[in-house]
Structure 1
């Protein structure tokens, strides 16, 4: 599978509707390897207009490794919500050094917003959607403002709303590239093994997906990878992949 060349890059222009751009790119890249998707995103969008959003979670090192091998200077946006496990913050620092990531931007919610809407730090319990909005969705909106496209680490095997995701999709007026959309758990493990990547420290304790502390629990046998997120609620996504950060 060849990486998108200059011909298609010229066809996919700012004058073309984002949805049409995404459809064209998804048709070309639906069987592409993760490195090919990242390389194509660079060619189509340009280094200065592309960012990768990473939680530095349980499987994040695999995509970060793929990206670093293509271009370690691609900006990486990390949402530091104020509720993250200390193990996640430590893991972020480990991977930055291990993979030679050169532009990791830790983005936090605005302090005035927290004081106004979550002064008692109980919003995660009373209204988790609102909590995610002020701690994730709104900070990501600010962080993505300079960019025309972003890369996510979602996979179809994670289930839920992710089960049928395309490799490239429209996200408002931005493109979103999902290089790992079609990857399998075995392929992720192979990336870790080949590069001798460290796993997130909480994986050994039974966490298959890690988000904020109050809303993350261990995954139970038979559950999908994200079964431990927002346990006991109908909520399955924080909002950054379902609410367009315009």
Structure 2
């Protein structure tokens, strides 16, 4: 266990934050780690602006880590820039996969089809692990109402040597959507085209009526997560 986790009673902190507002969770996260050692990881996807808005209300200078996999929709990249400017986020860091890893493991750019877990590993998991090496805690936007492996996520948990905070764990869809209405934030451009959750182009499809929020991701496969929440971030 890291020195940080030895000093933090995660069970007590989880109990204290179980019913806390997103802003309170973010403040608690900032207080739990040393100054400058907290970041937020965002996909700038269909619901991402809600968490980023709460972060901006607490501290616009918290670094925002964005994984540009090389397979993202152009709409997502434009949305990143738009939301960052609207919320006044001052430190958005766009990370990319290692060129050598892509050349060695995905030279034909078809790894998403032949081995999507490996594709996610070199394009998302490994770059994020490198980025998080500079932080002791991170915020993310997972929500229990997404179901599946997310249905029982805690508000705070240990993630390797770091603390991981889920400020929207308790939020329902109405609360998340209410942030957009309250602040007049635009939706991700692909929402109007039928996408309820947006990731990489090859592995994202429109949601059909009655489907869950994330049912359009990796359609037809058993895969439901990219791996940043399920694989060990060892760096």
CA contact (8 A) 2:4 2:136 kept: no
Measured after TM superposition, the shift of residue 23 of structure 1 is 1.9
Tell me which residue corresponds to 2:142.
154
- Residues of 1 paired with 2:46 and 2:128: CA distance? 20
Any idea what SS the aligned residue of 1:237 has? coil
Tell me which residue corresponds to 2:22.
34
CA contact (8 A) 1:47 1:74 kept: no
CA contact (8 A) 2:136 2:161 kept: yes
CA contact (8 A) 2:67 2:127 kept: yes
CA contact (8 A) 1:156 1:164 kept: yes
Tell me which residue corresponds to 1:171.
159
Measured after TM superposition, the shift of residue 67 of structure 1 is 0.2
CA contact (8 A) 2:45 2:198 kept: yes
Superposed CA RMSD in Å reads 1.3
| TM-score using structure 2 length | 0.96
Any idea what SS the aligned residue of 1:78 has? strand
Give matches, 1:1-246, under 5 Å. 14=3, 16-17=5-6, 21-246=9-234
Q: Segments of 4+ in structure 1 off by > 4 A? A: none
- Residues of 1 paired with 2:156 and 2:44: CA distance? 22
CA contact (8 A) 2:4 2:162 kept: no
Gaps of 5+ in 1: 1-12
Measured after TM superposition, the shift of residue 24 of structure 1 is 2.1
Which range is displaced more, 22-31 or 140-149? 22-31
- Residues of 2 paired with 1:131 and 1:102: CA distance? 30
Any idea what SS the aligned residue of 1:225 has? coil
| TM-score using structure 1 length | 0.92
CA contact (8 A) 1:50 1:147 kept: yes
CA contact (8 A) 1:209 1:228 kept: yes
Aligned residues: 233
- Residues of 2 paired with 1:22 and 1:61: CA distance? 27
